[in-house]
């Protein structure tokens, strides 16, 4: 069983994918650097959680 993401993380990640979907990729490290430049997130943990969900959404787009 996996960990459940908070609704706030999902909302922020979905908005980032909507606005900047053409600049994102399926690579976590690239997405993390991009999100760091776009958002002012307090803390590494939250930034990584958002980046991970953005990467997950981008992989879903590729599969579809």
Is 1 exposed, middle or buried (CB count within 10 Å of its CB: 0-12, 13-18, 19+)? exposed
CATH topology of domain 7-63: Diphtheria Toxin Repressor; domain 2 (1.10.60)
Helix (H) or strand (E) holding 58: helix 44-63
The answer to whether residue 1 scores a pLDDT higher than 60 is no
* Cβ(56)–Cβ(16) below 8 Å: no
Domain ranges for the chain, please list them: 7-63
What pLDDT digit, counting tens, does each position of 25-48 carry?
999 999 999 999 999 888 999 999
pTM: 0.88
Q: What is d(CA 1, CA 61) in angstroms, rounded to the nearest whole number?
A: 23
């Amino acid at each position: 069983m996996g960990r459940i993401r908070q609704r706030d993380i999902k909302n922020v990640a979905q908005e980032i994918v909507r606005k900047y979907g053409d600049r994102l990729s399926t690579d976590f490290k690239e997405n993390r650097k991009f999100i760091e430049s776009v958002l002012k997130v307090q803390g590494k943990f939250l930034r990584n959680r958002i980046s991970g969900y953005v990467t997950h959404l981008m992989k879903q787009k590729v599969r579809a």
